[in-house]
Amino acid sequence: MGRKRAGREIEAQPEGDALREGTWETDTGTVRLERDPYSPSAWTVYVNGVPSSHVDLEHPERLDFEYMRWMAALISQRWPDGGRLRALHLGGGACSMARWIHAGYPGARQVVVELDARLTVLVREWFSLPSAPLLRLRPGDAGEVLPSLTEDTRDLIIRDVFAGDQTPQQLTTPAFHAEAKRVLAEDGLYLLNVGDAPDRAHLRAEASALRELFPHVAAVADPAMLKGRRRGNVVVAASCAELPLGPALTRSLLGDALPAHVWGEQELAAFLR
């Protein structure tokens, strides 16, 4: 099929894998495509039975998953005037966030690290992703790739890696977060998608570890999730520079289809106590 070795971009175009509803075998399991019944140009991507990505081919600025919209709001506030971002995605799925960044920041240089090499082949075939150097797909384990990168080479790191409904333990450790800090620019932004239960144990552990490394840490989620009333996703943001938590971000989050709140440093400190 023309796959390249791990660590290099995959350009091959697999035969018989045209964009259509169905299920394909991948290196780590299966991927299933379903059409969005409300949008003829959109697809939902399931990885091993779990909704992983939503892609609208005609509208890359559309993000169907709420946690991605919260990430987008933070990115937009940090870099309101566009710019040539250097973005690293740890966990890529169908590259929904990478497509959103490319639409809003055309000069961005992005690398998506995805464990499943076969999946990277399929999503490049299906969704007409930007070619290198604008967007490189790098098959590999995020826990191994991140320490191999040069320090101070990324403005934005997004960690969105799941095995089932949980992030692999090795990607949640203080050592892993320290590697992210090393790779980030001084004013870089580290965004993490944290899946959690109502006890918010994962949020507590990760926020605690991040606060030991970064002077600025915040969390974004809908009020029910922050109050421990349901299972869901929390976006945690960390930076060595002040986070963009002003009124503009608040308005953006409250105007979302699923309104979200921000826990800044004081709220997080109170939660952790």
Please return the burial class of 243, using the count of CB atoms within 10 Å of its CB with bins 0-12, 13-18 and 19+. buried
Which residues neighbour 218 within 8 Å (Cβ) at sequence distance 6 or greater? Answer: 236, 237, 243, 245, 262, 263, 264, 265, 268
Task: Please write the tens of the pLDDT for every residue from 196-221.
Answer: 999 999 999 999 999 999 999 999 99
Residue 199: both structure tokens together: 């006890």
State the pLDDT confidence band at 16, using cuts at 50, 70 and 90.
low
Rounded CA-CA distance 18/218 in Å is: 41
75 and 145 Cβ atoms separated by less than 8 Å: no
Residue 226: both structure tokens together: 């922050």
Reply yes or no: is the peptide bond before residue 215 cis, omega within 30 of 0. no
147 and 39 Cβ atoms separated by less than 8 Å: no
Q: Is the dihedral of CA 21, 22, 27, 29 positive or negative?
A: positive
β-pairing, 184-196 vs 154-159, is parallel
**For the chain, domain boundaries:** 64-272
Global pTM reads: 0.92
Domain boundaries 64-272, corresponding CATH code: 3.40.50.150
Task: Please write the tens of the pLDDT for every residue from 23-50.
Answer: 999 999 999 999 999 999 999 999 999 9
15: pLDDT strictly greater than 70:
no
Task: Please write the tens of the pLDDT for every residue from 121-156.
Answer: 999 999 989 999 999 999 999 999 999 999 999 999
Tell me if residue 226 falls in helix, strand or coil. Answer: helix
